[in-house]
Structures are given as C-alpha cells and as structure tokens.
Structure 1
Amino acid sequence: MESRSADPGTVRPGGRTARVRAAVLQAAGDALAEGGLSGLDLADVARRADVGRTTVYRRWGTPAALVADLLADMAEQSLPRARTGTLPGDLRANARLVQRTLADPRQGPLFKAVIAAATCNDEAASALRLFYATRVTEWEPCVREAVERGELPEGTDTREVVRAVSAPLYYRLLTTGEVLDEAAADRAAAVAVAAARAGAFVTAETPAKQ
C-alpha cells in the first residue's frame, strides 16, 4: 500500500466541494492515525476540517463510509510505478515505496486503522480490496514485461508476484513492533523475484505452439 499525501495548504482542483472533501479526508486520516478506528468520530472530523457537521453527516453518514472514501482518495493519489528496466529493480522500488509508507509516523498507524476497519465492516473491506487492486494493477506491468523479456516463465501469475512483494511487509507491520527498514523491503523483493524465477507463481500451462 503506497500513497502520497497532499502538501499542507494545497488545494486540489474542483471548487468548494473538492476542497471540503480534501479537508475532511485529511482530518479523517489524522484522526485514524492518532486514535485508530475507535477514535474516528464524524463530529470530531468536522471540527478538525473546519466544516459543518451537517455537511459531514450528510455526505458520509458513518465512519465506515468515511474510511471507504479515504481509501478511494489514497488510491487516486498513490505514486505511479517505477520503471527501472529490470524485474529486480522494479520490485525493489515497489517494496521500498511500501516500506516508506508503512514506516511513516502518520501513514503506518493510518493503514493499521483502515485494515482494522475492514475486518469488521463490509463497506470498508470492499474499499480496501479496491485500493489494493488499484495498486496491483499499477505495478503488474513490470512483471508482465519481465515475462515478455524471458526473465520469468510463461504462465506466471503476474498480479500474485506483486502481492508477494508487499505481503511480508504488511505481516511485519501487523504482527511485530519492529520498524520496517530498507533491508526488509529489499529482502521481500529479492524473495519474490527468486520465487517467480523458480516458477512458484506459474498457474497456467504454456500454450502449445502450432
């Protein structure tokens, strides 16, 4: 999960509605990072964003809906994939982007909170799945291109390779108190590359040549 936050004071295009949404989502992210899902209160978010409570309740209605919109916004704002020209380089860049996000003092707790929300609310769960699907779709071409270059076997599940890069990093985030560093990111990428080259992600037989 990799994302970039708008710089303080910037306003996305789109007029007042867009400004209100940006302010509310920023406030929601701050509240989640500070207090987790239990600390997400629509009235408090409205106060933080300096907008009317009626506006927040009318547009989002529930904390889960606010989390879902926050995830949609994070997917929209996420950084594009790297293009290093090699599979190890691309996947290392992906792993380091995930690592930087999860190690960030704000983003790390924020992602823990949205994952927690997804475990107990269907709307949040659907939004989280969409977020990850968007990010996998962004990075999948680097694996597909590696297959086309002959770096990986035909029939490799390209999306699964991308998932394999970030999975160990999320596991460590959620199950240990350790700080994620670049060494962990590089190791996750190297393991994914080695497994992919060994055929661990091949899920389809190579079509017979005519």
Structure 2
Amino acid sequence: MTTAHPVPGETRPGGRTARTRQAVLAAVFEELGEGGFAELTMEKVAQRSGIHVATLYRRWRCIEGLVCALLTDLSDGVPLPDTGTLYGDLRAMARSLAAFYEEPRMRRLIEAVVSAAARHPQAATALRSFFEERLPLSGGMVERARERGEVPPGTDPVEVMSALGAPFYYRMLIVRRPVDTHLAESAATAVWAAARAGAYVKTDSGPVDETTDPPTPHAGATS
C-alpha cells in the first residue's frame, strides 16, 4: 500500500514566507525522489523551486538544514492515535510509521538526515531537536494509558515511543530492508508487553541488580 503525503508546507499559514517554504520543500522532496541525497544541491533546489539560491542559504544555511526541515514537515502528517487503549494506540502508530516509510523516497529521506547528522553538527542538532519535540508529543498516548491504569505509574512516555520506533530505524538503516505491516505489529506488541511489565518505569535507584527477577506485569493492566 502506498500512502499519499501532502506536498510539504501546504498546511502552513498563508503569505509569501509560507509559499516560499512550500515551494522549496516540495523541490527538495522531488529532488530526493529523482537523485537521492548524494545528488541533492542547493542549486538544484533553487532551480526547481524558482527561489533564489541566496534565499535558501539565508533561511536554511545548508542542504542538511533543508532535509531536516522536510522531515519535520512530513512527519507532522503522521496522525497521533487515540483509540482508547494503549495497545490500540501503539498498533495504530506503528502502522502509520510503516506506511510512512514504505515509500522509497521516505526511506531515502531518513537515510539522508542520519547521514548528514553524522557529518555536520547543524544537521545533528536539527535531528536531535526533531526527536526531542516529536517523542513527547507522541507520548501523550502513554500518559493516557497511565491515567487508565494500563501501565505502572512512572512509565516514561519518551522511552516507550523510542522503543516503538527503534525497530523501524534498525530495519531501514542497519539491515537495510523495507518496513512492513508485520514489523509494525511485532513492534507494537513487544512494546505494549514491556510497558505493562514495567520495563519503561523511571527509576533513580541506580544500576539494575542483575540477580533480580524480571518484573511481573502491572496489576492494573488489561489484557
């Protein structure tokens, strides 16, 4: 299944600045689809978008800044579910991630961002800021689960969402295989079970005693 994504920037407020951003990020998106990150240049983006290259450098500074801005825009289109249960929310989120990264251009985008972050401090800062903002936002589903008693008190939403996303990035960036629905289902089920068992509870007690038995599932969790 291929999901349709909005043209980057199209949901932003109106005005000249918004139109410029929309044109530029749409151009980056198209250039990535045609040639990948290795062939992406400010000059190509300027030519395709019709925006002067000096404007690109002034607003985004480098090609890595453009790519990170594109990732942020596109990720804003991934819905945050509220199904009424943590398991349902995790499954819905995992399926949305799978659909998002199912398209080759989306995989090339995340590859480009991670590659840029390894080489350029500005790109690394942009990538870190993206996850620092997105993970707590997505973690709202975990906060709701805590209020419903599905997971133990102190369950860290950021840790839960990090664990949910990790298999996708391992699949794409390490073993370099496409993501699919099976990966989404297995990731959601594993994270749900671990959350119920208290695996993501914040603790200030220091290193875990390796002789201690693993925690039992949270008494208030539903099956």
TM range (shorter): 0.7 to 0.9
Matches within 5 A, 1:23-172: 23-75=23-75, 77-172=76-171
Q: Which amino acid aligns with 1:197?
A: R
Q: Residue 78 of structure 1: CA displacement?
A: 3.0
Change (3 A) 1:123 1:199: same
How far does the alpha carbon of each residue in 1:161-202 deviate from its partner, in whole angstroms, 9 at most, with x for none? 111111111100112243211111010010001111111112
TM-score by length of 2: 0.80
Q: Residue 11 of structure 1: CA displacement?
A: 7.3
Would you say the 8 A contact 2:71–2:109 is kept in 1? no
How far does the alpha carbon of each residue in 1:20-42 deviate from its partner, in whole angstroms, 9 at most, with x for none? 11111111233234434332211
* In structure 2, distance between residues paired with 1:66 and 1:31: 12
Q: Which amino acid aligns with 2:154?
A: G
> Which structure exhibits the higher relative contact order, with contacts defined as CA atoms closer than 8 Å and separated by 6 or more residues?
1
Matches within 5 A, 1:173-184: 173-184=172-183
The RMSD of aligned alpha carbons is: 2.4
Which runs of no fewer than 5 residues in structure 2 stay unpaired? 205-223
Number of residue pairs matched by the alignment: 202
Change (3 A) 1:32 1:9: closer
Identity, in percent, stands at: 45
Structure holding more helix per residue: 1
Q: Which amino acid aligns with 2:159?
A: E
Q: Residue 156 of structure 1: CA displacement?
A: 1.4
Would you say the 8 A contact 2:153–2:201 is kept in 1? yes
Would you say the 8 A contact 2:160–2:195 is kept in 1? yes
Q: Which amino acid aligns with 1:25?
A: L
How far does the alpha carbon of each residue in 1:113-153 deviate from its partner, in whole angstroms, 9 at most, with x for none? 11111111111111112222222122211111112211111
Would you say the 8 A contact 1:4–1:78 is kept in 2? no
SS at match of 1:165: helix
Would you say the 8 A contact 2:98–2:184 is kept in 1? yes
Q: Which amino acid aligns with 2:105?
A: R
* In structure 2, distance between residues paired with 1:7 and 1:37: 19
